[in-house]
Amino acid sequence: MTGILVGGDPRPLVDWTEGAARLRVPQPRSMRGPGTVDGELFFNPAMAPSRDLAMVVPALWFALHPRRGSEPLRAIDPMAGSGVRAIRWAAELGLEVVANDIDSSARTATIANLALTSAHLAASNPQVAAALEQRVAVHDRPAHLLLAQERAHLIDIDPFGSPIHLVAAATGALAYRGLLALTATDTPVLCGAMPEPAMARYGAVPLRCPITKELGLRILVGAAVRIAANQGRALRPVLCHVSDHHMRAYLGCAGGSTTHFLQESVRQLGWVRYDRTVGVGTFVDAPQPGWNAQGPRTATIRSQQNLPADVGPLWTGPLFDPELIATWASTASAWDIPSVSQPCTGILPSASAPLARLQAALIDESPADLLPMDLPTQGRLLRCSLPRKTELIARLQLLGARASGTHIDGQGIRTDAPIATVQGLLSPR
């Protein structure tokens, strides 16, 4: 079906099916990469696997951390766009949802897509269909004002660029044992191409290097943990990943003794010292003297001079919750997970191929508490041909070392083996 969007978006509307949601969205320019803002309503089809994961992670988290009392689980999407994620939360997880977007055309589209989804579900699941529109409240308020007035167990910040400006407000609105999800698409900033904006936004020194995506993800997580700690809230990574053009971090808010969890989270903030001459990064507690002698570009300048460069502050702990990953791994498929309230049994879709691949990779590298090593960099430094990655991992494991691949870099590994051991296997004498 085609038409003209309310708000003057010139693109024709097309039908889109995603999970339990049925939508009419602007015809995509491309099915890959970052979306383009050429109309008043933003919708990026390439983010569908990420939205699939946005159903899986909360379902697992709330199953493992059940709430006390009978209060229903509430979720907030402060930048809802077409409403696809909010509608899926309500239909697939049974959450009470606030779908908000300051753009009035997005509010109109969300209401229309909610009605479409409800009508579609009426035939197969009339009870869910009847409750769906009651579960979703649609607003068009500024995001920071909305977060100041609401409280929820799940908040998802998915803006254009950086989410960091809303972390303080979102943390204040997040219930204990809640889940905060952040999406960052300003990857050039986080990955060292723009050191000054990285310092301004994240309060951190970045570095372009073979493990730059890992460092950028840890800078994002570290900045969020610091902001939350300033408010007396303890966040810890539940599942963090890098996919295509964006970084995604799911952070759990601790319950119980806040002081204990605060100390634990702050203790895992630190730095990475990257040595270009051996192609390896190492976690350190504090930077070396003169780490900011040339401002935000200090790490870049030192690395270019073949000197150890300090990157951070950033998160130095695990990027995954081992219990959550193990629970996910024990399921028959990515969608065979404990339901939060079993509101819509039988309408969850099959796992997408991208999500299944990501699941396998995350299970393999959990808990991601080791820095990755880029194998092509080692090959260049040693001037040797490289064995198959799986073969190298197996040989390291036979030596008693922990070793795995990493989803962030198809040519990288995580291992606790000394660099001399790895290089000895790569270039035997």
Could you read off the pLDDT of 374-424 as tens digits, one per residue?
Answer: 999 999 999 999 999 999 999 999 999 999 999 999 899 999 999 999 999
Compute how many other C-beta atoms are within 10 angstroms of the C-beta atom of residue 238.
26
Q: Which CATH architecture has domain 372-429?
A: 2-Layer Sandwich (3.30)
Domain boundaries, the chain: 13-315, 372-429
Query: Of 1 and 429, which is predicted with more confidence?
Result: 429
Q: Does domain 13-315 have CATH number 3.40.50.150?
A: yes
HSE of 65 in the Cβ direction (CA atoms, 13 Å)? 22
The beta-carbon contacts of 58-61 under 8 Å, at least 24 apart in sequence, are 58/89, 58/93, 58/95, 58/154, 58/179, 58/340, 59/93, 59/337, 59/338, 59/339, 59/340, 60/324, 60/327, 60/328, 60/337, 60/338, 61/179, 61/238, 61/250, 61/252, 61/324
Statement: residue 7 has pLDDT above 80: no
Statement: residue 5 has pLDDT above 50: no
* Rounded average pLDDT over 85-89: 95
Query: Of 39 and 152, which is predicted with more confidence?
Result: 152
Query: Of 5 and 318, which is predicted with more confidence?
Result: 318
Q: Please give the structure tokens belonging to residue 263.
A: 């100390």
The dihedrals phi and psi of 300, each to the nearest 5 degrees, come to -65, -45
